C-alpha cells in the first residue's frame, strides 16, 4: 500500500515543514521533522526535473523525496525555430509546449497504483516439471518468492520444455496493446529483446498479434495504393498544411480523431483541427456517434449504422458518376479498373444501382443528405480524415478502406487539398524534417546489435486461433499478417498448427499490455490458459491485471519512470518512417527518475538475468549494458550530430529546430505529378485489383476485385440478429489506452458509474432503444452477444444512432467465475461480446469493432 | 493585481485534460499556505459538466468546465462561521485556510456551484485555489496550462474586460448574483438552429440572412455560416417564433409558429429556391 497513503504522509511532512516556517511551530510534527532533517533529507527535498516520454506524450517528471509528485509539459524555448503555416490569410503556429492528455496527466498515479506487482510471484499449487495443479488457474492465490527462485524456476522450465519437447513448445505472446514507452525497454523489449533471447536459445512458436487498429487498411487499401510498410495508411507529413491552404471541406469519417489520435503523443494534433475551423473550412463527421471530434469540429453530423459506411461511400460515388463530377482525367491517368467499379455503381453487374435510395436502406442516411454531401465534396478540394481505428476494424473493414481510397481517387488524390490521413498518432500531419532519424520501439535494440538472430521455428499461432490451437488442434488458416504486412503474399500464405515434426505449445511466455480486454472473445481466450497442456505460464507484469490470474509465475517489471531509455516523441521507429505526428521533433533521453518500485526491474533486465541463468549472456548482451545500448543507438541517430551523449543524458532531451528553409512534401503530391510509382503491380491506384482477382477470382463474395458494400455475415440481417437486434460497436477507449490506465482512480471516476459498491463501465444507448427496454440513464443492464455477457451502466444519449450501442473496449474483465467460460463479466469488458471470427475469407484479422448484441435491464437474472 | 478567466466552451473538445491536470497538480501535493493535498478521489476542483441538448440527429453538447468561481460576493465567505478562515488574496482568489477550517461544511451548503468538497479524514473543506502557488511563480493555473484547445482565456482582470464585452461572456448561473471572476462564452441558452441549403442543388448556402421574430415583434438576425448553418441563442423557451430566411437571388422563405419547446431546437435542412 504505497500509493495515496504513502504519498499523503510524505506530503504531510512537506506541508508541516513549510507550515511550521509560515505559521510557527506545530505540535509534534515540527519536532519530528527536526529530528530527521539531515543533510540527506535536505538534498531529497529539492525538486528535481527529469525528461520522460510516455505513451501519452513527452513530459517533465518532477521528483521530490524520491517520488514523482507531478508531470508537467515539456516546453519549447522561444529561441528554437518552429514551423509556421500560412493559409487563408492567417498564420498558424503551434503552442510552445507539448500538449499532454489525461493519460500523461495521470501518469504518476498509474505508476504508484496499488495494483503494481512488486515482487516475483508463484501460483499456489503450481510445481515445476509439469507436476503441479492446473485447476486453480484463474482463481488461485499467489505467494511471493525471491528473484533467485523465480529466475531459477523460469530458466529451469525453459530448459526442461526445450529439452523435452523442443523449442516450438515455447510460445511467446506479445500484443500490440503496448506496455510502457521505450526503445530498449517496454515496447522495445517486447518487439526485439525477448525474441532475441528466445532465438539465441533456438527459437519459439511465434504468436501473431495481428493488427487490429489498422486491420482494414492493411488488408484493403494497401492492395489499391501500396504503403504496406505503413500498414496501408498513406503519407501524413505536411497533410494539414495542404488542407489548411487548399481544402474547401474536411470530412472526418469513421473515427473520433480528438480521442484516438492521443495515443503516443497526447493532444498534439488537436490544435490542427481547431485551425481548420479558424481557416473557415467546413467540416463533416460521418460516424454512428456524435463523438468528441464532432462536438467541436463538425458543421454537420451524418449518422450511419456501424459497419454500413461502404454503402454511403458507394452512393456518394454514384452521384459523382451520374452527374459527371469526378476527375475523369485523373482517373484515366492515375488509376486502373475504374470501369469495372463504375459498372458496380450503376448496377450493370448485379442489377442494383448503388443510388442514395439504395444506400439509405443500409446505412440509414437520407438520400438528400447523401446527394448534398456528394455535391459539396465534388465542389472543391476535400480532405478525407479517416484512417485510425473505427470503421476499419469492423465488418468487412477492407471494403470500407478501399471505398475511402476510391472516394479520394475519384477526386484526384494528391492534388492540392485532396488528401487522406488521420492527423496525429503515427500517421502524422505536421511539417517534418526528414533528415532526422531517431530509433523507435519497432526496431528496438536491433540497430545497435552486432549480430541479429532469426527464429528457425516455422510454427506460429495467431491471435484469432490461439485458443483453438491449444484446445483443439489441428488448426489450419490462411493469411494472418504480422503487426505490419510487408507484402500481399502474406495474405495468401497457408498455415497449420501444429507444424509436422514440431511440438505443440507447452509453455507460454507472455509480456505486454493485458490482452484479455483488448482482443476479441475474452472467454474463449481465457479458456486456453486453463488447459493442462500448458504446463507453465510465465508473465511479466506491471500490474495485477485480469490476465495475470492465469499465470504460474509473475515477474514484476517496472515503468518507464524507473529506467533509462532513448526515444522520440510520437515516433515508433520504422513503423511509419516519417510521421510528423507531433508539433516538434524531440529526441528524448528517458531519464530514470525513481528507483524501481518494490523488487520490480526493467523488462530488459529481467531478460538479462534469464540469459545469465541460461548461459547465453555473452551472445545476448554482446557485452552491452543498458547504457551501452542507449549510447550505440544514440550514436546511430541524428541527435548525435547536434549534442554530445553526456550532455544529452544530462539535459534529457534535444529539440530539433525546424529548418529555416523547408520544402513541404504534401501527401501523394509526387504521385499526382508523376502518375505512377506506387507499390502496386501497375504503379497506379488499383480500383480493380488484379492481385485480388488472380487469387480469389472475379466474384468472390467476401473479397471482390473492386470495392463493394458487402452485407456482414453476422450483421443486422443475419439469423442471430433476431436474438441480438442491436449493433454493438466497441471503439478505442477514451479514458484508457487499450487496457492501460484502466486501474487509475482519477480516470475511473470520470466515466464509471458508481453504485452498490461497484464501478460499472458505461455504454451509450439512444433514448428510443432505452425506452423500449425500460432502461433509464444510469441503470445497470446486461449486454449479451453470442460470445458472452457483461454488466454495464446505461448512458442514455441522443449522441448515438438508434439501433446501436457503444462500449469502449479495454475495461478490466471481471468474470463472476474465472473458470467458467461465458460467465457474467461485471467489468464491462466489451471484447467479451466481440467475435474472434476473422474479418473475411481474405483478411485473417480482427473485426472487433462490430457485433450484434442485446440489452436488457439487470435485475439479478443471468 | 486581480486575475480573471474567460471559459470559451465552444472550443472545448471534452478531453478532460484540465480535470486530470488539476489532480496531477494537487493530489498528494500540499501548497501551503493555500492548500492541503487534494485526496485521491471524490474531489473534482474542476469538473466537466456535459450538458447535452437537442434531439437526434441534431445534437448539441455544451461541455462546461466548472471550477471555483472565486466570486466577488462569495456566499462561502459569508457562510463561514470562523473569522478569516475563508479569505481573498490580492490576486482575487478565494481561499479556505486549512489551518482554521474545522470542516463544518457551512461553505459547502452555501456554494451554488457545488465546487467545495468535504475531507472527512482531516475535517476540512477543500476547493480550487486558482493555483495561487503557481500564480506566485508567474505561472497560469494547471487547468489553463493543460488545455490543448484554448478554452481558457486567462489574465489580469482589466486586460480581459474588452474581450468579455466583445464575446458577451457571462457568469455561470448569473441569477445567483455572486459576481464570479470566471466568465463563460457559449453557455447553453434556448437556441434555434438550422441548415440552409439550395432547394435544387441541396448544397450549403452560406451568407443567408435569417431573421426570427417573436410574437411581440422583437426580432434577431444572423447570417448562415460557411456550412449554411445558423444558430440563434438567448431566446425564450415556449415562445413561438417566425423564422424568415433570405438570400440574394432566392425566394425568401418564412416558417411560422416555430415553438421553442426544447432548449436546442434544430429546424433541419431548410431549402431556398432560386427566384427565377
3-state secondary structure of A702: coil
Residue reference for cell 476547493? B127
Per-residue pLDDT of A619-660, as tens digits, reads: 999 999 999 999 999 999 999 999 999 999 999 999 999 999
Q: Do A8 and B37 touch (CB under 8 A)?
A: yes
Task: Encode A690-707: b = buried (16+ Cβ within 10 Å), e = exposed.
Answer: ebbbebbeeeeebbbbbb
Q: Do A4 and B39 touch (CB under 8 A)?
A: yes
B203 has a pLDDT exceeding 50: yes
Question: Are A464 and A498 in the same domain?
Answer: yes
Per-residue pLDDT of A350-359, as tens digits, reads: 999 999 999 9
B145 has a pLDDT exceeding 80: yes
What are the Cα distances from residue B265, in Å, to A29, A231, A368, A768, B73?
60, 43, 21, 18, 35
A705 belongs to a structural domain: no
Domain that holds residue A735: 719-857
Q: Rounded CA gap, A690 and B206, in Å? A: 44
Q: Do A22 and B33 touch (CB under 8 A)?
A: yes
CATH topology of domain B3-185: Alpha-Beta Plaits (3.30.70)
**Overall number of domains in chain A:** 4
The nearest alpha carbon in chain A to B35 belongs to A15
Question: Where on the phi/psi map is residue A200: left (φ > 0), alpha (ψ -120 to 50), or beta?
Answer: alpha
Q: Do B14 and A295 touch (CB under 8 A)?
A: yes
ipTM exceeds 0.85, yes or no: yes
Q: Rounded CA gap, A310 and A709, in Å? A: 5
Instruction: Report the CATH number that the domain containing residue A822 is assigned in CATH.
Output: 2.40.40.20
- Nearest chain B CA: its distance from A4 CA (Å): 7
3-state secondary structure of A405: helix
pLDDT of amino acid A481: 66
A13 belongs to a structural domain: yes
Q: Please provide the average confidence, as pLDDT, over all residues in chain A.
A: 91
Q: Do B13 and A18 touch (CB under 8 A)?
A: no
- Nearest chain B CA: its distance from A413 CA (Å): 23
Question: Are A467 and A334 in the same domain?
Answer: no
B49 has a pLDDT exceeding 70: yes
Kindly list the residues from chain B whose CB atom is less than 8 angstroms away from the CB atom of residue A737: none
- The overall longest dimension of chain B from CA atoms, in Å, is 78
Q: Rounded CA gap, B32 and B133, in Å? A: 8
Question: Are A562 and A475 in the same domain?
Answer: yes
Q: Please provide the average confidence, as pLDDT, over all residues in chain B.
A: 97
Question: Are A851 and A726 in the same domain?
Answer: yes
What are the Cα distances from residue A268, in Å, to A427, A626, B96, B147?
13, 30, 36, 11
Per-residue pLDDT of A239-258, as tens digits, reads: 999 999 999 999 999 989 99
A352 belongs to a structural domain: yes
pLDDT of amino acid A482: 57
Closest partner CB to B16 (pick from A296, A750, A802): A750
Q: Which of A605, A637, A656 is the last residue of a domain?
A: A656
E strands, B171-249, are: 182-185, 191-198, 209-214, 219-223, 229-232, 240-246
A522 belongs to a structural domain: yes
- Nearest chain A CA: its distance from B147 CA (Å): 8
Of the candidates A308, A279, A624, which has an alpha carbon nearest to the alpha carbon of residue A446?
A: A624
Q: Which of A71, A87, A111 is the last residue of a domain?
A: A111
Kindly list the residues from chain B whose CB atom is less than 8 angstroms away from the CB atom of residue A274: 11, 149-150
pLDDT of amino acid A490: 84
Question: Are A652 and A527 in the same domain?
Answer: yes
The three-point CA angle A654-A660-A661 to 5° equals: 125
pLDDT of amino acid A540: 94
Q: Do B15 and A8 touch (CB under 8 A)?
A: no
Closest partner CB to B13 (pick from A7, A95, A258): A258
Q: Rounded CA gap, A327 and A410, in Å? A: 6
Question: Are A188 and A234 in the same domain?
Answer: no
pLDDT > 70 in chain A, percent: 93
What are the Cα distances from residue A522, in Å, to A139, A171, A518, A862?
16, 19, 9, 18
Cis amide bond preceding A491, omega within 30: no
Residue reference for cell 483478411? A843
A188 has a pLDDT exceeding 70: yes
Per-residue pLDDT of A546-573, as tens digits, reads: 899 999 999 999 999 999 999 998 877 6
Q: Rounded CA gap, B72 and B89, in Å? A: 11
How many A×B Cβ pairs under 8 Å?
171
Question: Are A85 and A106 in the same domain?
Answer: yes
Kindly list the residues from chain A whose CB atom is less than 8 angstroms away from the CB atom of residue B145: 73, 97
Q: Do A798 and B229 touch (CB under 8 A)?
A: no
Question: Are A464 and A400 in the same domain?
Answer: no
Residue reference for cell 485555489? B129
Cβ-count burial of B50 within 10 angstroms (0-12 exposed, 13-18 middle, 19+ buried)?
middle
Closest partner CB to A282 (pick from B25, B36, B204): B204
Per-residue pLDDT of B51-104, as tens digits, reads: 999 999 999 999 999 999 999 999 999 999 999 999 999 999 999 999 999 999
Task: Report domain extents, chain B.
Answer: 3-185, 191-272
Q: Which of A85, A111, A137 is the last residue of a domain?
A: A111
Question: Are A183 and A223 in the same domain?
Answer: no
Of the candidates A18, A44, A41, A16, which has an alpha carbon nearest to the alpha carbon of residue A31?
A: A16
Instruction: Report the CATH number that the domain containing residue A49 is assigned in CATH.
Output: 2.20.25.340
Q: Do A8 and B204 touch (CB under 8 A)?
A: no
Per-residue pLDDT of A822-856, as tens digits, reads: 899 999 999 999 999 999 999 999 899 999 999 99
Closest partner CB to A372 (pick from B12, B20, B203): B203
Mean pLDDT for the stretch of residues A383-394: 90
A452 has a pLDDT exceeding 90: yes
pLDDT of amino acid A25: 34
CA atoms within 13 Å, Cβ hemisphere of B183:
21
CATH architecture for residues B191-272: Sandwich (2.60)
Mean pLDDT for the stretch of residues B192-196: 98
Q: Do B33 and A23 touch (CB under 8 A)?
A: yes
User: Model confidence at A20, in pLDDT bands (50, 70, 90)?
Assistant: very low
A116 belongs to a structural domain: no
Instruction: Report the CATH number that the domain containing residue A391 is assigned in CATH.
Output: 3.40.228.10
pLDDT of amino acid A506: 97
Question: Are A163 and A107 in the same domain?
Answer: no
A262 belongs to a structural domain: yes
pLDDT of amino acid A486: 59
Q: Rounded CA gap, A569 and A566, in Å? A: 10
A862 belongs to a structural domain: no
Question: Are A427 and A557 in the same domain?
Answer: no
3-state secondary structure of A574: helix
Mean pLDDT for the stretch of residues A415-426: 87
Cα-to-chain-centroid distance, residue A43: 40
Per-residue pLDDT of A563-619, as tens digits, reads: 999 999 887 765 666 677 899 999 999 999 999 999 999 999 999 999 999 999 999
Cell of A238: 505536411
A484 belongs to a structural domain: yes
Instruction: Report the CATH number that the domain containing residue A472 is assigned in CATH.
Output: 3.40.50.740
A333 has a pLDDT exceeding 50: yes
Asked if A248 and A380 count as a contact pair (C-beta separation under 8 A), the reply is yes
Question: Are A179 and A236 in the same domain?
Answer: no
Of the candidates A534, A552, A543, which has an alpha carbon nearest to the alpha carbon of residue A514?
A: A543
Kindly list the residues from chain A whose CB atom is less than 8 angstroms away from the CB atom of residue B33: 19, 22-23
pLDDT of amino acid A3: 37
- Nearest chain B CA: its distance from A822 CA (Å): 33
Contacts of A859 (CB under 8 A, 6+ apart): none
pLDDT of amino acid A577: 62
A2 has a pLDDT exceeding 70: no
Asked if A118 and A144 count as a contact pair (C-beta separation under 8 A), the reply is no
Asked if A444 and A604 count as a contact pair (C-beta separation under 8 A), the reply is no
Kindly list the residues from chain B whose CB atom is less than 8 angstroms away from the CB atom of residue A69: 28-29
Per-residue pLDDT of B250-262, as tens digits, reads: 999 999 999 999 9
Amino acid at each position: 500500500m504505497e500509493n495515496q497513503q504513502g504519498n499523503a504522509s510524505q506530503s504531510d511532512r512537506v506541508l508541516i515543514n513549510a507550515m511550521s516556517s509560515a505559521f510557527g511551530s506545530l505540535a509534534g510534527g515540527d519536532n519530528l521533522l527536526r529530528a530527521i532533517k539531515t543533510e540527506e533529507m535536505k538534498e531529497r527535498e529539492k525538486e528535481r526535473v527529469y525528461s520522460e516520454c510516455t505513451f501519452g506524450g513527452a513530459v517533465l517528471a518532477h521528483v521530490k523525496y524520491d517520488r514523482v509528485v507531478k508531470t508537467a509539459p515539456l516546453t519549447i524555448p522561444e529561441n528554437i525555430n518552429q514551423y509556421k503555416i500560412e493559409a487563408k490569410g492567417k498564420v498558424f503556429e503551434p503552442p510552445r509546449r507539448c500538449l499532454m492528455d489525461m493519460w500523461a496527466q495521470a501518469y504518476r498515479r498509474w505508476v504508484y497504483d496499488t495494483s503494481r506487482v512488486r515482487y516475483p510471484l508463484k501460483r499456489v499449487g503450481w510445481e515445476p516439471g509439469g507436476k503441479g495443479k492446473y485447476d486453480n488457474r484463474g482463481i488461485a492465490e499467489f505467494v511471493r518468492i525471491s528473484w533467485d527462485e523465480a529466475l531459477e524456476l523460469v530458466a529451469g522450465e525453459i530448459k526442461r520444455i526445450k529439452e523435452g519437447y523442443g523449442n516450438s513448445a515455447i510460445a511467446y505472446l506479445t500484443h500490440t496493446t503496448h506496455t510502457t514507452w521505450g526503445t530498449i525497454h517496454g515496447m522495445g523489449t517486447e518487439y526485439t529483446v525477448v525474441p532475441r533471447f528466445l532465438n539465441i536459445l533456438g527459437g519459439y512458436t511465434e504468436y501473431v498479434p495481428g493488427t487490429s487498429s489498422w486491420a482494414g487498411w492493411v488488408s484493403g487499401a494497401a492492395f489499391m495504393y501500396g504503403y504496406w510498410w505503413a500498414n496501408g495508411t498513406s503519407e501524413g507529413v505536411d497533410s494539414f498544411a495542404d488542407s489548411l491552404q487548399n481544402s474547401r471541406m474536411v470530412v472526418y469519417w469513421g473515427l473520433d480523431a480528438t480521442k484516438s489520435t492521443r495515443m503516443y503523443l497526447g493532444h498534439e494534433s488537436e490544435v490542427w483541427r481547431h485551425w481548420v475551423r479558424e481557416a473557415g473550412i467546413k467540416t463533416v463527421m460521418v460516424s454512428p456517434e456524435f463523438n468528441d471530434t464532432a462536438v467541436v469540429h463538425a458543421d454537420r453530423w451524418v449518422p450511419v449504422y456501424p459497419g454500413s459506411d461502404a454503402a454511403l461511400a458507394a452512393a456518394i460515388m454514384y452521384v459523382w458518376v451520374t452527374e459527371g463530377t469526378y476527375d475523369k482525367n485523373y482517373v484515366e491517368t492515375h488509376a486502373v479498373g475504374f470501369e469495372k467499379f463504375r459498372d458496380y455503381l450503376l448496377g450493370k453487374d448485379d442489377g442494383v444501382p448503388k443510388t442514395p435510395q439504395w444506400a439509405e436502406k443500409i446505412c440509414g442516411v437520407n438520400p438528400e443528405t447523401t446527394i448534398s454531401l456528394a455535391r459539396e465534396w465534388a465542389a472543391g478540394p476535400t480532405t478525407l480524415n479517416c484512417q485510425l481505428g473505427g470503421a476499419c476494424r469492423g465488418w468487412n473493414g477492407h471494403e470500407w478502406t478501399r471505398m475511402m481510397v476510391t472516394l479520394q481517387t475519384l477526386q484526384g488524390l494528391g492534388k492540392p487539398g485532396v488528401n487522406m490521413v488521420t492527423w496525429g498518432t503515427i500517421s502524422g500531419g505536421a511539417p517534418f524534417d526528414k533528415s532526422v532519424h531517431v530509433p523507435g520501439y519497432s526496431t528496438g535494440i536491433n540497430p545497435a546489435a552486432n549480430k541479429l538472430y532469426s527464429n528457425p521455428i516455422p510454427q506460429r499461432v495467431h491471435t484469432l486461433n490461439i485458443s483453438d490451437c491449444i484446445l483443439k488442434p489441428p488448426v489450419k488458416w490462411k493469411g494472418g499478417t504480422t503487426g505490419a504486412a510487408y507484402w500481399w503474399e502474406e495474405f495468401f500464405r497457408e498455415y497449420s498448427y501444429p507444424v509436422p515434426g514440431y511440438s505443440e505449445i507447452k509453455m507460454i511466455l507472455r509480456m505486454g499490455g493485458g490482452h484479455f480486454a483488448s482482443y476479441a472473445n475474452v472467454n474463449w481466450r481465457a479458456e486456453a490458459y486453463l488447459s493442462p497442456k500448458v504446463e507453465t505460464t510465465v508473465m511479466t507484469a506491471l500490474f495485477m491485471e485480469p490476465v495475470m490470474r492465469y499465470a504460474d509465475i509473475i515477474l514484476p517489471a517496472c515503468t518507464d519512470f524507473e529506467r533509462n531509455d532513448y526515444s522520440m516523441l510520437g515516433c515508433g521507429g520504422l513503423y511509419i518512417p516519417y510521421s510528423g505526428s507531433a508539433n516538434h521533433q524531440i529526441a528524448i533521453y528517458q531519464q530514470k527518475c525513481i528507483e524501481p518500485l518494490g523488487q520490480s526491474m526493467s523488462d530488459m533486465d529481467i531478460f538479462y538475468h534469464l540469459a545469465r541463468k541460461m548461459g547465453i549472456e555473452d551472445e545476448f548482451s554482446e557485452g552491452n549494458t543498458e547504457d551501452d545500448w542507449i549510447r550505440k543507438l544514440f550514436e546511430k541517430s541524428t541527435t548525435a550530430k547536434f549534442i554530445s551523449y553526456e550532455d544529452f543524458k544530462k539535459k534529457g532531451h534535444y529539440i530539433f529546430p525546424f529548418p529555416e528553409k523547408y520544402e513541404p512534401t504534401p501527401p501523394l503530391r509526387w504521385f499526382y505529378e508523376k502518375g505512377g510509382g506506387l507499390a502496386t503491380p501497375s504503379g497506379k491506384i488499383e480500383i480493380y485489383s488484379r492481385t485480388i482477382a488472380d487469387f480469389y477470382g472475379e466474384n468472390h463474395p467476401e473479397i471482390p476485385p473492386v470495392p463493394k458494400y458487402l452485407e456482414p455475415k453476422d450483421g443486422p440481417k443475419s439469423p442471430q440478429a433476431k436474438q441480438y437486434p442491436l449493433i454493438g460497436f466497441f471503439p478505442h477507449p477514451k479514458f484508457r489506452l487499450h487496457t492501460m490506465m484502466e486501474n487509475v482512480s482519477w480516470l475511473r471516476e470520470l466515466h464509471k458509474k458508481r453504485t452498490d459498491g461497484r464501478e460499472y463501465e458505461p455504454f451509450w444507448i439512444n433514448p428510443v432503444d432505452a425506452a423500449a427496454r425500460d432502461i433509464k440513464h444510469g441503470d445497470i443492464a446486461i449486454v449479451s452477444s453470442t460470445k458472452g455477457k457483461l454488466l454495464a451502466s446505461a448512458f442514455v444519449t441522443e449522441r448515438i444512432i438508434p439501433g446501436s450501442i457503444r462500449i469502449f473496449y479495454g475495461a478490466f474483465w471481471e468474470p463472476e467465475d474465472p473458470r467458467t467460460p461465458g460467465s457474467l463479466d461485471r467489468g464491462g469488458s466489451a471484447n467479451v461480446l466481440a467475435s474472434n471470427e476473422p474479418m473475411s475469407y481474405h483478411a485473417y484479422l480482427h473485426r472487433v469493432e462490430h457485433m450484434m448484441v442485446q440489452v436488457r435491464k439487470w435485475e439479478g437474472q443471468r | 493585481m486581480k486575475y480573471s478567466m474567460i471559459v470559451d466552451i465552444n472550443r472545448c473538445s471534452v478531453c478532460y485534460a484540465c480535470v486530470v491536470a488539476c489532480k496531477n497538480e494537487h493530489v498528494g501535493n500540499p501548497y501551503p499556505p493555500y492548500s492541503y493535498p487534494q485526496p485521491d478521489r471524490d474531489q473534482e476542483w474542476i469538473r466537466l459538466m456535459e450538458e447535452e441538448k437537442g434531439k437526434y440527429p441534431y445534437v448539441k453538447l455544451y461541455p462546461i468546465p466548472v471550477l471555483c468561481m472565486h466570486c466577488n460576493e462569495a456566499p462561502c465567505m459569508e457562510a463561514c462561521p470562523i473569522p478569516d478562515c475563508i479569505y481573498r488574496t490580492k490576486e482575487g482568489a478565494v481561499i479556505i485556510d486549512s489551518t482554521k477550517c474545522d470542516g463544518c461544511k457551512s461553505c459547502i451548503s452555501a456554494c451554488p456551484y457545488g465546487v467545495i468538497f468535504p475531507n472527512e479524514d482531516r475535517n476540512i473543506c477543500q476547493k480550487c485555489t486558482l493555483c495561487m502557488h503557481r500564480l506566485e511563480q508567474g505561472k497560469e493555473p494547471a487547468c489553463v496550462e493543460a488545455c490543448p484547445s484554448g478554452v481558457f482565456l486567462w489574465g489580469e482582470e482589466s486586460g480581459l474586460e474588452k474581450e468579455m464585452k466583445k464575446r458577451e461572456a457571462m457568469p455561470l448561473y448569473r441569477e445567483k448574483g455572486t459576481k464570479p471572476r470566471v466568465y463563460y462564452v457559449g453557455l447553453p441558452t434556448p437556441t434555434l438552429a438550422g441548415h440552409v441549403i439550395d432547394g435544387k442543388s441541396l448544397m450549403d448556402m452560406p451568407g443567408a440572412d435569417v431573421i426570427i421574430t417573436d410574437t411581440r415583434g422583437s426580432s434577431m438576425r444572423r447570417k448562415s455560416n460557411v456550412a449554411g448553418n445558423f444558430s440563434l441563442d438567448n431566446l425564450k423557451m415556449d415562445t413561438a417564433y417566425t423564422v424568415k430566411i433570405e438570400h440574394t437571388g432566392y425566394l425568401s422563405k418564412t416558417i411560422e409558429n416555430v415553438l421553442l419547446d426544447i432548449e436546442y431546437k434544430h429546424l433541419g435542412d431548410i431549402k431556398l429556391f432560386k427566384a427565377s
